[in-house]
Chains A and B, each alone.
Chain A
């Protein structure tokens, strides 16, 4: 079945450092999404990417939609303690009669003050 891979699985960084994580798929998808989930909460959309090669920023976050449409990366600059959480990449599967969001396994981020 369809599967997304995220790396790294987890990371521990010092406050102020930049973070980079990526997501790959064996299939082509035309919409890539990045979510953040805080403990005990639902995921919140950070960035949505709709065009191959697109580079989009949202504050300290920057994400790119790979040109092959099989990968994406998320960068966080100058990390702060509230960046702690699980970051999920996701893709939109439009083959079905409804918009199915397929989530990756997540990258757990810990920020050391």
Chain B
């Protein structure tokens, strides 16, 4: 199957700093990328959806000024957690989809996740 990578896999930062997480589709072009957040022993919750070259669509309750998403190319999306606080500590997972939205049989391939710990 298609491969999606995330970098870094783990990051520890001080409260108030910003952290950038990269999501790359390694062997396919991803028209759409998704960012999820997962707390311990909980399910994945969609934060936002980004289409290459356009603004991200954020889910209700997700602060777009705090979680900046950039999908500058068909193989790279970045999530920047700005002014991070301890409550932002979580497992952040991206996924990438090769087809256009609405193509139900275009599988979303998930990255391995990034563990963020804010001290």
Q: Contact residues of A with B, CB < 8 Å?
A: 30-31, 40-45, 48, 50, 88, 92, 94, 97-106, 108
Q: Are B43 and A101 in contact (CB under 8 A)?
A: no
With beta carbons under 8 angstroms apart, the residue of B43, B107, B113 that contacts A88 is B43
Query: Main secondary structure on chain B at its contact with chain A?
Result: strand
Q: Are B110 and A44 in contact (CB under 8 A)?
A: yes
Q: Are B49 and A42 in contact (CB under 8 A)?
A: no
Can you sample 5 A-B contacts with CB below 8 Å?
A41-B113, A42-B95, A43-B110, A48-B105, A99-B97
Smallest CB–CB gap between B45 and chain A, Å?
8
CA distance A31 to B115 in the complex (A): 30
Q: Are A103 and B43 in contact (CB under 8 A)?
A: yes
CA distance A102 to B36 in the complex (A): 11
Q: Interface residue count for B (Cβ, 8 Å)?
A: 29
Q: Are B104 and A42 in contact (CB under 8 A)?
A: no
Tell me the total A-B contact number using a CB cutoff of 8 A. 62
Query: Main secondary structure on chain A at its contact with chain B?
Result: loop
CA distance A44 to B101 in the complex (A): 20
Which residues 25-81 in B have Cβ within 8 Å of A in the complex? 32, 34, 41-46, 49, 51, 57
Residues of A within 8 A of B42 (CB): 105
Q: Are A99 and B104 in contact (CB under 8 A)?
A: yes
Q: Are B107 and A43 in contact (CB under 8 A)?
A: no
Q: Are A40 and B115 in contact (CB under 8 A)?
A: yes
Chain A: CB-nearest residue to B111: A42
With beta carbons under 8 angstroms apart, the residue of A41, A44, A99, A108 that contacts B106 is A99
Residues of B within 8 A of A100 (CB): 46, 49
CA distance A40 to B4 in the complex (A): 15
Q: Are B49 and A101 in contact (CB under 8 A)?
A: no
Q: Are A45 and B44 in contact (CB under 8 A)?
A: no
